[in-house]
Structure 1
Amino acid sequence: MTSPDPAFYHPAPRAQQFCSQCGHALSREIPPDDNRIRDLCHHCGAVHYQNPRNVVGVVPILGDRVLLCRRAIEPRYGKWTLPAGFMELGETTEQGAERENQEESGARIEIQSLLTVIDVPLVNQVHLYYLADVLGPDLAPGPETLEAAFFALDEIPWNELAFRTVSTTLEHYLQDRARGDFPTHHYAINLRFPD
């Protein structure tokens, strides 16, 4: 079996056309006692709410080096990122971050603390990154990663990073490391990462 083109994978569309309860066509309007446009089914009465998606990940540190993964999937194919991805049902944010790290880098880690919480309303997401100690140099990247590598802190490939949430999280880590204090940073990003 051949591998599909990396551009093949796309998340399910946010807007629905048909009701997942009964299969009838949906309309977009404000339901009674609500204040936002929703996908409504006039056949069975279902209201299809859309909520932000959580992206969870880690800032994996081994001594004075950070672990980054080069993406084998779109968006931002071939760019470097922190191990992260969408949280799954039935897991905590920390469990999701550990799972994403294992899937993308294969590194053994121990999570320390929550470093950043980033609201990204432009794409209806919230990103959470945990600071993590890497417990050894062995890596085993999964199929979503072209390669995983450790970078000295002064050699981070800033111009090749995939997302602003990654670059700002790394900036906070470097500033916190210089101070010797790692508080949780909560902020919003409203602009796309430049190409």
Structure 2
Amino acid sequence: MNSETQKPAFRRQIPAGDTHERDVCSTCGFINYVNPKVVTGAIVRHDGKLLLCRRAIEPRTGFWTLPAGFMELGETAEQAAMREAREEANAEIVIDRLLAVYTIPRIAQVQIMYLARLARPDISAGPESLEVKLAGWDEIPWADLAFPSVRWALEQYRSVEGLSDFPAFANPPGEFGGI
């Protein structure tokens, strides 16, 4: 059997010069690195209200979230956040600044959240949303938020609302694995 017809045979081992166990092909030496996924999104503001999307997809179908999702190859974090707002709420947004970077090792994610504003007030549910709305603070469905990181972003934004200069946030104290 020649190398062109051999099927890769992966085994768990710590590659030379590495510190983590990985899947390594015993045929060719290829190392299969599995790294965290990057999620980007935004708190989108318009006339004192915030854009919320009611999820039409798993996980957490029917719960409310901010427009956010996985980055694609070839795009920046900002471009991904703008794309997600278009996909989920048919919203064109302008990114103003970074709000937070969360690390959630339990699900192997890094989440980058921006502050943004609507470029136009036109919004409607995209294919990943059951409905979208602009909500004031007293209209946010706090008990029906999809993920703890949505609450973190909203609460952290509230703490700096109206300020133009503040450092980016990270996970709230004691919050490292839950989403």
**RMSD, aligned α-carbons:** 1.6
Match of 1:185 among 144, 169, 178: 169
1:180 & 1:56 partners in 2: Cα distance?
Answer: 21
2:54 & 2:37 partners in 1: Cα distance?
Answer: 22
Match of 1:85 among 62, 69, 75: 69
- Cα distance, 1:134 vs structure 2: 1.2
1:182 & 1:131 partners in 2: Cα distance?
Answer: 12
Q: Which amino acid aligns with 1:131?
A: L
Instruction: Determine what percentage of the aligned residue pairs are the same residue.
Output: 47
The corresponding residue for 1:151 is 135
- Cα distance, 1:107 vs structure 2: 1.4
1:86 & 1:140 partners in 2: Cα distance?
Answer: 21
The corresponding residue for 1:132 is 116
Secondary structure (helix, strand or coil) at the match of 1:187 reads: coil
The answer to whether the Cα contact below 8 Å between 1:104 and 1:145 also exists between their aligned partners in 2 is yes
Secondary structure (helix, strand or coil) at the match of 2:20 reads: coil
Output aligned runs, 1:38-117, within 5 Å.
38-117=22-101
Q: How has the CA–CA distance of structure 1 residues 89 and 174 changed in structure 2, closer, same or farther, with 3 Å as cutoff?
A: same
Gaps of 5+ in 1: 1-21
TM-score (norm 2): 0.90
Deviation string 1:113-153 (CA, Å, 9 cap, x unpaired) is 00010011111110001100113321132211111111112
TM-score (norm 1): 0.83
Q: How has the CA–CA distance of structure 1 residues 45 and 160 changed in structure 2, closer, same or farther, with 3 Å as cutoff?
A: same
Greater alpha carbon shift after TM alignment, 38-47 vs 178-187 = 178-187
The answer to whether the Cα contact below 8 Å between 1:62 and 1:136 also exists between their aligned partners in 2 is no
Secondary structure (helix, strand or coil) at the match of 1:166 reads: helix
